[in-house]
């Protein structure tokens, strides 16, 4: 949507790394980077991912939006070739993870949900040894590490141990580590969960730069603003299934109105409204603490409510968001 | 630029060791000095000449036992908390399998690391034994690989087990109920012939007994019956191999889900 305008302009020398805009010839031109049909993951009787279909094109920024437990991480782990699928088809970079796990993983970058940094090693050593896992020479890994630490603004901490770093710094280091093999696809599982707003914006900015260079990004999030900022296209997941798919804007247009009127009533009043809001908008949603009125013109709906003699404590008109899409599709909010 | 399976995990362990070796080095030297002077020299002066192994002084009898016990302890520790950290605290193994590295790299890398670490610890121990005059044969140098093998025979089954643990408090139980009793009753401090016969039979099934007897025969240069020595080696190699094979499975069950 309007990512560029809303991200703070944090200047920094970009690395001279080669980022791949398209899948290499061995998997064929035009083939999607990731292709899933009926992808299923079961743990015993529990179905974590229930027959999902999706394709991710080269250079695309693709998101899985959903609450905790929706099956996002399980899907990411299957794409990352560390979790065998129970059923369905999955192709990553034109190969089957079951047969070519190590070859696929050699071309992926992974940012897991919880940091998996080696706290006994320094910032630089974390990058060097991770490069070694890809059979990159120490010399080459050292050069890339310097560029990447510059890119994530951690160069002055290069010889410090990982442990005293802040959550945001560790996250940036994890992203730098995931780029050491110049991956064609970067998998990010909740890249900014637990970060303060400033740290989140810095991470978003770096990810946006990668996206502009043509790196394919696949991310999961339960933050709708993150999905709006970073994703060209996303799927909404709920209870192991994909419930909607499209660009953030298309999803909002399809499942929500242009504007939302939020009404907050004094304690106890909301329960006594009994249909007094009917017809104010296309749809009314009762949340525990407020009422959402979906209308093309929120201001007009607010005036109409006032004309009906309703006196809410606060009135807010806002643009509708993916949160509203999610509420519409599942009847629940994203972050409970 | 391909190398052998497990090479990168070994590099990782060496990189970590380069950061922390100073903290462990002092203890590695001090431990044999303390044990050999207290139990071998001081206590040993109260012990009459041994009837076994051609009547060697107690110090000479004791030292190879302590050597193997040290290897057992080092390997068991290396396969407990540090591995558990890789699974749960740092999750470095999760990071590793996201790269072209696989479960076999992690397991075999750990095996190689055990060999390196045990070689350092038992090498220093043997050097201290030489200083104390606790070796009496040129074959003593073969007690070195014997002690390393003994450690691996504990380290790999322990590694396999650690991969199944969800809580770290399990490890204290192993030390209390496995490592310490073996340390005391596997022929380290006295010949197992001193034990009741039923318990002697149990000792035959513990890897430490085989390690201690192997290392002792080689360090003293007595009782070098090739058949017996081969049995000891075969038992240790079997336990280490089975432990490694089980570790492939338990590590996979833990990491690839």
Closest residue, chain A, to B100 (C-alpha):
A102
CA distance B246 to A85: 24
Predicted local confidence at residue A2, as pLDDT: 37
pLDDT in tens, B82-138: 999 999 999 999 999 999 999 999 999 999 999 999 999 999 999 999 999 998 889
Cβ–Cβ contact A182 with B under 8 A: no
Residue range(s) of every CATH 3.30.70 domain in chain A: 257-320
- Closest CA of chain A from B113, distance in Å: 16
Three-state SS annotation for chain A: CCHHHHCCCCCCCCCCCCCCCCCCHHHCCCCCCEEEEEEEEEECCEEEEEEEEEEECCCCEEEEECCCCCCHHHHHHHHCCCCCCCEEEEEECCECHHHHHHHHHCCEEEECCCCCCCCCCEHHHHHHHHHHHCCCCHHHHHHHHHHHHHHCCCHHHCCCECCCCCHHHHHHHHHHHHCCCCCCEEEEECCCCCCCHHHHHHHHHHHHHHHHCCCEEEEEECCHHHHHHHCCEEEEEECCEEEEEECHHHHHHHHCCCEEEEEECCCCCHHHCCCCCCCCCCEEEECCCCEEEEECCHHHHHHHHHHCCCCCCEEEEEECCHHHHHHHHHCCCCCC
Mean pLDDT over B33-52 rounds to 89
The domain defined by A3-246 carries CATH number 3.40.50.300: yes
Cβ–Cβ contact B255 with A under 8 A: yes
What is the residue range of B57's domain?
Answer: 7-255
Contact B102 A118 (CB under 8 A): no
Whose structure tokens read 């050491």? A180
Split into its structural domains, chain B has a count of: 1
Contact A83 B256 (CB under 8 A): yes
**pLDDT higher than 80, residue B203:** yes
The residue among B20, B24, B95, B109 with the most chain A CBs within 10 A of its CB, best to mutate, is B95
Predicted local confidence at residue A183, as pLDDT: 96
Q: Which residues does chain A have within 8 Å of residue B20's beta carbon, measured at their own beta carbons?
A: 120
Whose structure tokens read 């707003």? A197
Confidence band of B217 (pLDDT split at 50, 70, 90):
very high
Q: Closest Cα partner for B117 from B65, B74, B156?
A: B74
Predicted local confidence at residue B2, as pLDDT: 58
Contact B11 A132 (CB under 8 A): yes
- Closest CA of chain A from B102, distance in Å: 8
Contact A105 B96 (CB under 8 A): no
How does DSSP assign B4-41, residue by residue?
Answer: -TTHHHHHHHHHHHHHHHHHHHHHHHHHHHHHIIIIII
Mean pLDDT over B42-49 rounds to 88
Cβ–Cβ contact B23 with A under 8 A: no
Closest residue, chain A, to B92 (C-alpha):
A116
Predicted local confidence at residue A335, as pLDDT: 62
Contact A130 B8 (CB under 8 A): no
Output the pTM of the full model: 0.90
Residue B199 in any domain: the answer is: yes
Mean pLDDT over B58-76 rounds to 96
The domain defined by A257-320 carries CATH number 3.30.70: yes
Residue range(s) of every CATH 3.40.50.300 domain in chain A: 3-246
CA distance A109 to A106: 8
Note down pLDDT in tens along chain A; length 336 residues: 333 333 333 334 444 444 444 444 444 456 799 999 999 999 999 999 999 999 999 999 999 998 888 999 999 999 999 999 999 999 999 999 999 999 999 999 999 999 999 999 999 999 999 999 999 999 999 999 999 999 999 999 999 999 999 999 999 999 999 999 999 999 999 999 888 899 899 999 999 999 999 999 999 998 888 998 899 999 999 999 999 999 999 999 999 999 999 999 998 888 888 788 889 999 999 888 899 999 999 999 999 999 999 999 999 999 998 889 988 998 877 765
Any idea what the Cα angle at residue A208 is, between residues A126 and A183, rounded to 5°?
A: 45
Whose structure tokens read 């490069």? A131
ipTM of the complex: 0.93
Answer for the pair A303, A256: CB distance below 8 angstroms, yes or no: no
Tokens of A154: 């951690």
């Amino acid at each position: 949507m309007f990512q560029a305008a809303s991200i703070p302009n944090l200047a920094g020398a970009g690395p001279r790394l080669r980022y791949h805009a398209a899948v290499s010839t061995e998997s064929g031109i035009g083939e999607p980077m990731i292709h899933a049909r009926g992808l299923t993951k079961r743990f015993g009787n529990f179905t974590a991912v229930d027959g999902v279909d999706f394709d991710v094109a080269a250079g695309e920024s693709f998101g899985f939006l959903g609450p905790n437990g929706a099956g996002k991480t399980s899907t990411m782990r299957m794409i990352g070739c560390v979790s065998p699928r129970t059923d369905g088809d999955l192709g990553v970079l034109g190969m089957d993870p079951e047969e070519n796990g190590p070859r696929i993983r050699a071309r992926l970058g992974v940012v897991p949900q919880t940091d998996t940094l080696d706290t006994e090693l320094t910032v630089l050593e974390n990058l060097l040894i991770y490069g070694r896992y890809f059979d990159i020479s120490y010399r080459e890994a050292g050069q890339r590490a310097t560029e990447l630490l510059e890119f994530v603004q951690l160069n002055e901490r290069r010889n410090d141990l990982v442990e005293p770093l802040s959550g945001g710094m560790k996250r940036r280091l994890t992203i730098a580590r995931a780029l050491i093999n110049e991956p064609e696809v970067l998998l990010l599982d909740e890249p900014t969960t637990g970060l303060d707003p400033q740290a989140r914006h810095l991470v978003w900015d770096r990810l946006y730069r990668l996206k502009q260079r043509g790196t394919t990004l696949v991310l999961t999030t339960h933050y709708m603003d993150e999905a709006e900022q970073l994703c060209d296209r996303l799927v909404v997941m709920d209870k192991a299934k994909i419930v909607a798919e499209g660009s953030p804007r298309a999803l909002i247009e399809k499942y929500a109105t242009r504007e939302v009127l939020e009404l907050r009533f004094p304690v106890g009043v909301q329960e006594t409204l009994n249909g007094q809001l009917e017809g104010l908008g296309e749809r009314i949603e009762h949340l525990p603490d407020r009422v959402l009125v979906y209308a093309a013109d929120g201001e007009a709906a607010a005036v109409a409510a006032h004309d009906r003699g309703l006196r809410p404590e606060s009135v807010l008109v806002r643009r509708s968001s993916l949160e509203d899409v999610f509420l519409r599709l599942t009847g629940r909010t994203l972050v409970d | 630029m391909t190398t052998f399976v497990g090479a990168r995990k070994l590099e990782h362990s060496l990189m970590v060791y380069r950061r922390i070796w100073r903290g462990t080095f002092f203890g590695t030297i001090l431990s044999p000095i303390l044990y050999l002077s207290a139990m071998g020299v001081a206590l040993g002066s109260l012990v009459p000449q041994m009837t076994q192994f051609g009547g060697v002084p107690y110090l000479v009898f004791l030292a190879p036992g302590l050597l193997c016990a040290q290897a057992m302890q080092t390997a068991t520790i290396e396969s407990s908390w540090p591995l558990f950290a890789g699974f749960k605290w740092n999750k470095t193994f999760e990071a590793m399998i996201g790269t072209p590295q696989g479960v076999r790299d992690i397991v075999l890398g750990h095996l190689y690391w055990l060999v390196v670490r045990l070689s350092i610890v038992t090498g220093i121990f043997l050097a201290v034994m030489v200083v104390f005059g606790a070796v009496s044969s040129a074959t003593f140098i073969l007690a070195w690989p014997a002690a390393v093998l003994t450690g691996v025979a504990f380290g790999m089954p322990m590694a396999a087990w650690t991969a199944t643990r969800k809580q770290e408090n399990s490890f204290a139980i192993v030390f209390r109920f496995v490592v310490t009793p073996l340390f005391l009753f596997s022929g380290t401090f006295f010949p197992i012939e001193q034990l009741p016969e039923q318990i002697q039979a149990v000792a035959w099934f513990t890897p430490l007994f085989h390690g201690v007897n192997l290392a002792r025969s080689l360090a003293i240069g007595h009782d070098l019956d090739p058949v017996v020595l081969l049995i000891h080696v075969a038992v240790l190699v079997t336990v280490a191999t089975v432990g490694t094979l089980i570790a492939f499975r338990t590590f996979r069950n833990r990491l690839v889900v």
